[in-house]
Chains A and B, each alone.
Chain A
């Protein structure tokens, strides 16, 4: 069913862009990238799991615990985890807690700019069901309706130890080859887009930001 839907509109409309700017932006849908042979993929997964680059985007109060994680108390560099300032090069996106609508727009943008394979680590209870802010008019309740999530870390606020545990869990999943979030996003693209456009009122960007 999804297949025929995709084949119908392979070109994104980019309706929300002004006419004179449409040609400037990419209008191709994301396609699920093909998985290589078993042994190659295992080898690459081993490398991916041992060099996780976190996108330096403190989207919420979870960012406060990333700093102790980077310093000598809980030294995350030991595990080959580093922070990259640009989404093009980073592989892990840590959603630091609640995401307000204004931030969610930037989260989607940054997530789509990251290169496959990319992993999402949702931090804090507020990404799971809204947590403290379940009835706030400006924070979303479930992040997994807007971008695919690989690992959740509960708590408000989660301790650095639990962050490390979550990253270990992520490593395990990568080794097992279960983290195909990007493909999932490409396959259910229309559903994700519909959810995003439902709450992001002024959508003044292309439908898919390469």
Chain B
């Protein structure tokens, strides 16, 4: 797998490569080379199965990490392709022409993270939510507990503890260190 990535480095600008376990490895590719790289993987290196398209909100670096997980049925290897895009203009090329189910994943990302995939069929329709008028819920800066306490009718009497302090006070009531 390492060798394959190394010789692909000549054509595409690939960054950090990690061999996670014996069946899985991840590689970072720049945004403009992402879709050609995935197309190459699918057509030439027969990574023919798209397992997952998902995103991670790296709010500290002000980035979205989009991860495409491809599977190769010959090598029995999973390859996760990481693409970092700017969090302020979240737009990514669509890959719905490569796999049919990619359109659904992109629809979900549009709804949950607000990442736009121009040209992907039905990307603007809401998939899970209905009449959602807040910021996309899966972003880190969306506080669901605040939203719940404002929107729904929480029943009185529910106490929530930080389990660490709760257990410490329960087990060692005398010493109040830390």
Please tell me whether chains A and B touch each other in their complex, using a CB distance cut-off of 8 A.
yes
Interface residues of A (CB under 8 A from B): 101-102, 105, 128-130, 134-138, 140-142, 145, 195, 198-202
Contact digits for B113-155, partner A, Cβ 8 Å, 1 yes 0 no:
0000000000000001111110001000010110110011111
Tell me if A129 and B155 are in contact (CB < 8 A).
Answer: yes
Complex Cα distance A136/B137, Å? Answer: 10
Q: Of A102, A128, A130, A195, which one neighbours B129 at CB under 8 angstroms?
A: A102
Which residues of A are found within 8 Å of B129, using beta-carbon distances? Answer: 101-102, 138
> Shortest distance in angstroms between B44's beta carbon and chain A's nearest beta carbon?
42
Tell me if B153 and A141 are in contact (CB < 8 A).
Answer: yes
Which residues of B are found within 8 Å of A137, using beta-carbon distances? Answer: 137, 142, 144, 147-148, 151
**Would you list which residues of chain B between 151 and 170 have a CB under 8 Å from chain A?**
151-155, 158
Contact digits for B39-71, partner A, Cβ 8 Å, 1 yes 0 no:
000000000000000000000000000000000
Most buried by A among B147, B152, B155: B152
Residue in A closest to B157 when the chains form the complex, CB atoms: A129
Residue in A closest to B134 when the chains form the complex, CB atoms: A137
**Would you list which residues of chain B between 83 and 139 have a CB under 8 Å from chain A?**
128-133, 137
Interface of A is mostly: loop
Tell me if B148 and A129 are in contact (CB < 8 A).
Answer: no
Which residues of B are found within 8 Å of A135, using beta-carbon distances? Answer: 144-145, 148
Complex Cα distance A130/B153, Å? Answer: 9
Residue in B closest to A138 when the chains form the complex, CB atoms: B129
Complex Cα distance A102/B130, Å? Answer: 6
Tell me if A101 and B130 are in contact (CB < 8 A).
Answer: yes
Which residues of A are found within 8 Å of B152, using beta-carbon distances? Answer: 130, 140-142, 199
Tell me if A201 and B130 are in contact (CB < 8 A).
Answer: yes
Contacts A142-B155, A145-B153 hold; do A136 and B148 have CB atoms under 8 A apart? Answer: yes
Which residues of A are found within 8 Å of B133, using beta-carbon distances? Answer: 201
Q: Of A129, A140, A200, A201, which one neighbours B158 at CB under 8 angstroms?
A: A129
Tell me if B155 and A201 are in contact (CB < 8 A).
Answer: no
Complex Cα distance A140/B147, Å? Answer: 11
Complex Cα distance A145/B133, Å? Answer: 22
Which residues of B are found within 8 Å of A195, using beta-carbon distances? Answer: 153
> Shortest distance in angstroms between A139's beta carbon and chain B's nearest beta carbon?
8
> Shortest distance in angstroms between B94's beta carbon and chain A's nearest beta carbon?
26
14 contacts between A and B (CB under 8 A): A102-B128, A129-B155, A130-B152, A130-B155, A135-B148, A137-B144, A137-B147, A137-B148, A138-B129, A198-B151, A199-B152, A201-B130, A201-B131, A202-B131
Residue in B closest to A137 when the chains form the complex, CB atoms: B144
Q: Can you list the 6 inter-chain pairs with the closest CB atoms, starting with the nearest? A: A201-B131, A202-B131, A129-B155, A137-B144, A141-B152, A102-B130
Residue in A closest to B144 when the chains form the complex, CB atoms: A137
Tell me if B130 and A141 are in contact (CB < 8 A).
Answer: no
Complex Cα distance A198/B150, Å? Answer: 11
Contacts A128-B155, A137-B137, A141-B154 hold; do A200 and B148 have CB atoms under 8 A apart? Answer: no
Since A134-B154, A138-B129 are in contact, a sample of 8 more A-B pairs with Cβ atoms closer than 8 Å, ordered by chain A residue number, is A105-B130, A130-B148, A135-B145, A137-B147, A137-B151, A141-B152, A142-B152, A142-B154
